[in-house]
Amino acid sequence: MALVDLAWHCYMDLASAAFYAGRTDQAIHMLEKAARTVAHLAAPNRRLADTLNRMGVLYTHQRRYLRAEQCLRQAVEIFESLPRLDPSRLAIARFNLAGVLETLGRSSEAGEQ
C-alpha cells in the first residue's frame, strides 16, 4: 500500500473513531486532512468522493446543511465520472444529498436524486 493510501486510511479511521466518541468537529477535521491527502491524485478520485460523502453526512449531523450539500454534490459528481461506475457508492451519495435537499425544503430537487 502506498504511503498516500495508508495516510488516507488512517485519517478516515481517526474520523470514525472521533465521531463515535461524540467529537464531530474533530471527525470533520480528520476528514478534511484525508481530503487534502488525496486531493492531488488523478481525477476522478474515488477516495476524495468517499471522503466528501462522509463529510456531507457529518455536516448534516451538525445541521450545517449548505456545507453538507456542497460536499455531497461534489461526491456525486466524482462518483458519476468514475470510469468503473460503483452503483452502491453513487446511490448512497445521492440518497444523502436527497436527504439534505429535503431538509432544505427543496423536495422536487431531492426527488431527482
Contact between residue 75 and residue 93 where contact means Cβ atoms under 8 Å apart: yes
> Which CATH number covers residue 60?
1.25.40.10
Q: Using one digit for the tens of pLDDT, what is the confidence trace for 74-103?
A: 999 999 999 888 999 999 999 999 999 999
pLDDT for res 108: 84
pLDDT for res 111: 80
| DSSP class of 45 | -
Contact between residue 95 and residue 57 where contact means Cβ atoms under 8 Å apart: no
pTM over 0.85: yes
Q: Using one digit for the tens of pLDDT, what is the confidence trace for 11-32?
A: 999 999 999 999 999 999 999 9
Q: Using one digit for the tens of pLDDT, what is the confidence trace for 45-60?
A: 999 999 999 999 999 9
Give the C-alpha separation, 48 to 102, whole Å: 25
Neighbours of 81 (CB within 10 A): 12
Q: Residue 37 sits in which domain range?
A: 3-111
Number of domain units in the chain: 1
Q: Confidence band (pLDDT; 50, 70, 90) for 1?
A: low
